[in-house]
């Protein structure tokens, strides 16, 4: 099968290519190549991973829409015109919103209410792409929660670093639910969707969500670190919410998604456990930092 990938140099893309012997892969760098110049001749499927993700230093809102919506549609339109049969779009759980605290987990049929420019731009891209869908051009959208594994950056990397450096953490007694997905499970899902030429909206995820406390405990276990977890009193949490609600929600709020329908529809079982993924991530972190 001939596969064209955009954004192949990113975290998901590099992991996808590592074990992609089943595909003849053509990589396209949209930073240096114009969409009009892309040669889709002989391509069966396109995996569109190129995106502008959340920028810690901020980015203009219109840039998110230019990259995540307009560029994705432009690539898909050219692919369809040139005879490609399937377009797989990497989306995000953020199209649903920011939190499921006090609510049921989101599934493939849940209403979407994106809050930030990243989620909004991805959701608008999904809608435009499905307008291109027909019997000759199959569109698949994969909504993913936080992806982790060797090579991860940002919040998950910082959490592993924290566990390895600080023996006492105020993250005990957590009862929240946060869905995550090991990059190996996400890659396996993407490959399955491409190989079966599936179409529709799909949700990636490990087999079950974790509380922040459980996640920290798994990282500590994989790191062979003894840590003490202290539960923060509710009145202190309430004060912290007023000062910095986003950080408190990321640590103690819920963002759970239910991917049972995806797995049943596709006949797919995530091949790796969360423990497997965290162990691999921690081993990579330790080698990276000579620990």
* Domain spans of the chain, in order of start: 2-147+180-208+256-272
Angle value at C-alpha 64, between 258 and 136, nearest 5 degrees: 65
Comparing 130-134, 144-148, 191-195, 230-234, which segment has the lowest mean pLDDT? 230-234
CA distance 206 to 181: 5
- The catalytic residue among 118, 148, 182, 272 is 118
More confidently predicted of 130 and 291: 130
Span 25-35, pLDDT tens digits: 999 999 999 99
Query: Cβ distance 64 to 120 under 8 Å?
Result: yes
Q: Give residue 55's pLDDT band: very low, low, confident or very high (50, 70, 90).
A: low
Percent of the chain predicted with pLDDT > 70: 98
CA distance 2 to 27: 11
**Where is mean pLDDT largest: 78-87, 154-163, 166-175?**
78-87
Q: What is the pLDDT of residue 234?
A: 81
Span 73-122, pLDDT tens digits: 999 999 999 999 999 999 999 999 999 999 999 999 999 999 999 999 99
Helix axis angle, 117-132 to 72-81, nearest 10°: 10
Q: Give residue 182's pLDDT band: very low, low, confident or very high (50, 70, 90).
A: very high
| Residue 157 annotated in active site | no
Query: Cβ distance 14 to 151 under 8 Å?
Result: yes
Residues 6+ apart with CB under 8 A from 203: 93, 106, 107, 108, 142, 143, 144, 257, 258, 259, 261, 262
Query: On the CB side of 210, how many CA atoms lie within 13 Å of its CA?
Result: 21
Q: What is the pLDDT of residue 17?
A: 95
Q: State the average pLDDT for the chain.
A: 94
Beta strands in the chain (DSSP E): 2-6, 24-28, 45-48, 86-90, 138-143, 146-148, 168-169, 180-182, 200-203, 228-229
Query: On the CB side of 164, how many CA atoms lie within 13 Å of its CA?
Result: 20
pLDDT score of 123 more than 60: yes
Q: What is the pLDDT of residue 81?
A: 97
Assign domain 2-147+180-208+256-272 to a CATH class: alpha beta
Backbone dihedral angles phi then psi of residue 43, each to the nearest 5 degrees: -80, 130
pLDDT score of 56 more than 70: no
Q: What is the pLDDT of residue 57?
A: 62
Q: What is the pLDDT of residue 238?
A: 81
Instruction: Count other Cβ atoms within 10 Å, centred on residue 90.
Output: 25
Average pLDDT over residues 66-75: 97
Instruction: Count other Cβ atoms within 10 Å, centred on residue 124.
Output: 19
Report helix, strand or coil for 277: helix
> Minimal CA–CA distance to 246: which of 115, 123, 120?
115
User: pTM for this one?
Assistant: 0.94
> Minimal CA–CA distance to 87: which of 74, 102, 98, 103?
74
């Amino acid at each position: 099968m001939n596969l064209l990938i955009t954004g192949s140099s990113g975290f998901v893309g590099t992991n996808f290519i590592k074990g992609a012997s089943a595909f003849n892969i053509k990589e396209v760098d949209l930073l240096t190549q114009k969409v009009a110049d892309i040669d889709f001749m002989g391509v069966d499927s396109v995996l569109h991973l190129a995106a502008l993700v959340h920028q810690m230093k901020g980015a203009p809102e219109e840039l998110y829409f230019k990259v995540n919506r307009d560029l994705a549609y432009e690539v898909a339109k050219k692919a369809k015109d040139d005879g490609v049969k399937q377009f797989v779009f990497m989306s995000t759980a953020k199209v649903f919103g920011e939190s499921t605290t006090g609510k049921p987990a989101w599934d493939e049929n849940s209403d979407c209410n994106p809050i930030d420019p990243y989620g909004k731009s991805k959701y608008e891209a999904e809608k435009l792409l499905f307008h291109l869908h027909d019997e000759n051009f199959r569109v698949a959208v994969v909504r993913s929660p936080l992806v982790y594994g060797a090579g991860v950056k940002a919040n998950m990397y910082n959490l592993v670093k924290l566990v390895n450096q600080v023996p006492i953490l105020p993250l005990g007694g957590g009862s929240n639910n946060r869905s995550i997905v090991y990059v190996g499970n996400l890659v396996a899902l993407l490959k399955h969707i491409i190989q079966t030429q599936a179409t529709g909206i799909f949700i990636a995820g490990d087999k079950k969500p974790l509380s922040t406390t459980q996640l920290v405990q798994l990282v500590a276990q994989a790191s062979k670190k003894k840590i003490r977890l202290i539960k923060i009193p509710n009145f202190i949490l309430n004060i912290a919410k007023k000062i910095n609600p986003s950080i408190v929600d990321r640590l103690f709020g819920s963002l759970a998604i239910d991917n049972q329908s995806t797995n049943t529809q596709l006949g797919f079982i995530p091949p790796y456990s969360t423990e497997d993924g965290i162990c691999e991530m921690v081993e990579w972190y330790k080698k990276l930092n000579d620990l």
